[in-house]
């Protein structure tokens, strides 16, 4: 059985009804706030709950999800777009229900105008049509490539920390995102307490109200500062696997529960194609 057939077989094995692919972009105003670590653990928690999840590494120039997940990515999406390999060749089945799609510079991926290769990519990518959630680990900041990924996604989660620079930059991302959507989630990381997370959220929400007006900025949850997170990073494991009952894992599970509820309650935008391939079509139209 070739890789494409294996992926199709894995997609067919499901315990939940497939309701289309929901895309969630995880972003930040600056680097070093734990965005990729939270993306990987968020995806893992969804996978543990029976959802089929693909992690797309779109962190321009700093793609490192393969390191965090302790897998080896020989090739990435850029190689596919160049016609150097098949899409199914780059997809890594990390564990049950969890897949990694290694990326490259987001801007470079869609610079190729070869219609045959692009159409072939779209056809080949259909092997992951059974994916329930596509989690996109974007680059930090408000660069045009990152903004394009955010605009094409169904939901946006902005990760920040108590660092004043991170808070300032998070506001810049939220301001840019609010121009194109009705809701943005915020997820403070590495905080001392729930109270500190609330203060960070209140500070940014206050600035948003004064400068932008009433927008849908929502607190998704928070992840506390804990040695278990740093241990997992050093050992290239996921803290949601290693220590599922510790505060960081429990807090992130609560955030995932809120995300799931929000997605279920949201009125689906019928103008968007809710599929794995559909997301890349929307993305290509914007580049």
Tens of pLDDT, residue by residue over 149-173, are 898 899 999 999 999 999 999 999 9
Q: Of the given ranges (9-13, 54-58, 62-66, 196-200), which has the lowest mean pLDDT? A: 9-13
Per-residue pLDDT band for 235 (boundaries 50, 70, 90) equals very high
Nearest C-alpha neighbor of 161 from the set 140, 130, 133, 142: 140
The pLDDT score that the predictor gives to residue 214 is 73
Let me know: does 21 contact 134? Beta carbons within 8 Å: yes
Residue 5 structure tokens: 């057939």
Helix pair angle (276-286, 144-152), 10° resolution: 140
Q: Which two tokens stand for residue 65?
A: 């999800």
What is the reported pLDDT for 109? 60
The Cβ of residue 92 has, within 10 Å, a number of other Cβ atoms equal to 17
CA distance linking residue 80 with residue 84, whole number of Å = 6
Tokens of 135: 């989690």
> What pLDDT does residue 287 have?
64
Angstrom CA distances, 71 to 90, 95, 99, 212, stand at 12, 11, 11, 42
Per the CB < 8 A criterion, the answer to whether 234 and 207 are in contact is no
How many Å apart are CA 167 and CA 13, to the nearest integer?
A: 42
Checking if the pLDDT of 2 tops 80, the result is no
Q: Which residue has the higher pLDDT, 147 or 53?
A: 53
Q: Which pLDDT score, from 0 to 100, does residue 29 have?
A: 92
- Degrees (nearest 5) of the Cα angle 163, 67, 142? 45
φ, ψ for residue 62 (rounded to 5)? Answer: -130, 25
**Residue 52 in this model has a pLDDT that exceeds 80:** yes
Mean pLDDT of 238-251: 97
Q: Are 77 and 109 in contact (CB under 8 A)?
A: yes
Q: What is the model's pLDDT at position 241?
A: 97
Supply the pLDDT for residue 251. 98
Under a CB-based contact definition with an 8 Å cutoff, are residues 142 and 176 in contact?
yes
**What pLDDT digit, counting tens, does each position of 85-120 carry?**
988 999 999 999 999 999 865 555 656 556 767 778
Q: Strand pairing partners for 270? A: none
The length of the chain in residues reads 287
Residues 194-212 have a mean pLDDT of: 93
- Distances, alpha carbon 162 to alpha carbons 125, 193, 248, 266, in Å: 39, 11, 16, 30
Q: In whole angstroms, how far apart are CA 205 and each of 112, 201, 259, 260?
A: 40, 6, 19, 23
Rounded Cα–Cα distance for residues 144 and 251 (Å): 32
Q: Are 208 and 171 in contact (CB under 8 A)?
A: yes
End-to-end Cα distance, the chain: 35
- Percentage of the residues of the chain whose pLDDT score is greater than 90: 53
218 or 213: which carries more pLDDT confidence? Answer: 218
Pick the closest to residue 66 from 35, 38, 40, 32 (CA basis). Answer: 40
The pLDDT score that the predictor gives to residue 110 is: 58
* Per-residue model confidence (pLDDT) at position 272: 56
Instruction: Give residue 49's pLDDT.
Output: 95
Predicted confidence band of residue 271 (pLDDT cuts 50, 70, 90): low
- pLDDT for 268 beyond 70: no
- For the packed helices 227-234 and 247-265, what is the interaxial angle rounded to 10 degrees? 90
Give percent of the chain above pLDDT 70: 90
Q: What is the pTM of this model?
A: 0.92
pLDDT of residue 121: 78
Q: Which of 14-23, 95-104, 172-181 has the lowest mean pLDDT?
A: 14-23
3 state DSSP class of 156? strand
Would you say residue 79 has pLDDT above 90? no
- Measure the CA–CA gap between 96 and 44, rounded to whole angstroms: 10
Half-sphere exposure of 264 (CA within 13 A, CB side): 8
């Amino acid at each position: 059985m070739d890789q494409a057939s294996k992926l199709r077989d894995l997609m067919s094995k499901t315990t939940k009804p497939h309701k289309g692919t929901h895309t969630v972009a995880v972003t930040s105003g600056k680097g070093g706030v734990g965005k990729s670590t939270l993306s990987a653990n968020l995806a893992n928690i969804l996978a543990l709950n029976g959802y089929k999840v693909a992690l797309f590494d779109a962190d321009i120039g700093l793609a490192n999800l393969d390191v965090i997940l302790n897998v080896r990515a020989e090739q990435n999406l850029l190689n596919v777009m160049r016609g150097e390999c098949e899409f199914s060749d780059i997809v890594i089945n990390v564990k049950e229900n969890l897949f990694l799609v290694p990326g490259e510079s987001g801007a470079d991926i869609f610079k190729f105008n070869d219609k045959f290769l692009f159409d072939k990519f779209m056809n080949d990518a259909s092997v992951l049509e059974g994916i329930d959630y596509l989690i996109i680990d974007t680059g930090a900041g408000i660069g045009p490539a990152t903004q394009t990924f955010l605009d094409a996604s169904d939901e946006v989660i902005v990760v920040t920390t108590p660092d004043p620079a991170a808070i300032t930059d998070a506001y810049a991302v939220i301001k840019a995102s609010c121009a194109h959507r009705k809701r943005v989630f915020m997820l403070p990381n590495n905080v001392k307490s729930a109270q500190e997370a609330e203060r960070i959220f209140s500070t940014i929400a206050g600035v948003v109200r004064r400068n932008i007006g009433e927008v849908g900025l929502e607190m998704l949850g928070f992840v506390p500062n804990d040695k278990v997170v740093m241990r997992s990073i050093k050992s290239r494991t996921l803290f949601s696997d290693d220590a599922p009952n510790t505060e960081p894992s429990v807090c992130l599970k609560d955030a995932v529960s809120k995300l799931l509820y929000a997605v279920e309650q949201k009125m689906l935008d019928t103008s968007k194609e809710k599929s794995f391939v559909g997301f890349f079509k929307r993305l290509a139209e914007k580049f």
